[in-house]
Structure 1
Amino acid sequence: MSNGEWHGAWSAALDELELDVSTVELMLADEHRHAETPPASLWKPPTELGALPLELKPRADEILTRQLKAAEEIARRMTATKQQMTMTTKIETGEAVKRPVYVDRAM
């Protein structure tokens, strides 16, 4: 594989990875869209390309930063959803509001 082909193949791989993270970012920005269109397929890293060209490292680092930020937001939302589900269950069973029961003996 020539140097130009190697660089081009890595650029194409990064394009695909960047498209995936952009899709996740859009879904996080629009929760209704996420519910309607879950992610289709997972990105698989290329195995035949060898090492990443040095000049593409800043772009790969930026994509990784975006992926980590998106993963952090997904984890935060999952935790919030779990807490909300727990509270909903308590409300439905009456456990969320424990009221003391008083008996008026004066009457």
Structure 2
Amino acid sequence: MTGDWRGAWTTALDELEMDVAAVEAMLADEHRQAETPPADLWRPPTELGALPLELKPRADEILTRQLAVAEELARRLTANRQQSAMTSRIETGEAVKRPVYLDRAM
């Protein structure tokens, strides 16, 4: 039973770490299509019981990475909103047609 318990936790942490690594890779690649969500979203396993003590450092490291990724995502979303607000204020000339020159010969 003890081996199954540790194995289940190790598998759960492996899956969680792969999810964090996928988001980190997306953030590192400026040209990646961010509109496509990951195919398999990580879901917390049920009925695992307490985390084995020897896996706590790994779980803490994954949590630290998750928090850093969440902070970076929030920063980029804020930057995108600011850029969108700025570009919406730029007048393109499409909505209002103005004369480009004035013919004073007449």
TM range (shorter): 0.7 to 0.9
User: How far apart are residue 93 of structure 1 and its match?
Assistant: 6.7
* Matched residue, 2:102: none
Higher relative contact order (CA 8 A, sep 6+): 2
Deviation per CA, 1:10-54: give whole Å up to 9, x if none: 000000000000000000000222436432232111111111111
List alignment gaps of at least 5 residues for structure 1. Answer: 95-107
Runs of 5+ consecutive residues of structure 2 not aligned to the other structure: 94-106
**Aligned match of 1:71:** 70
Q: TM-score, normalised by structure 2?
A: 0.81
Q: Which amino acid aligns with 1:8?
A: G
Q: 2:4: which partner in 1?
A: 5
**Normalising by structure 1, what TM-score?**
0.80
Instruction: Select the structure that is richer in helix.
Output: 1
The one-letter code of the counterpart of 1:41 is D
Q: Where does structure 1 differ by over 6 angstroms across 4 or more consecutive aligned residues?
A: none
Q: C-alpha root-mean-square deviation of aligned residues, in Å?
A: 1.6
- 2:42 counterpart SS class: coil
- Kindly tell me the number of residue pairs found equivalent between the two proteins: 93
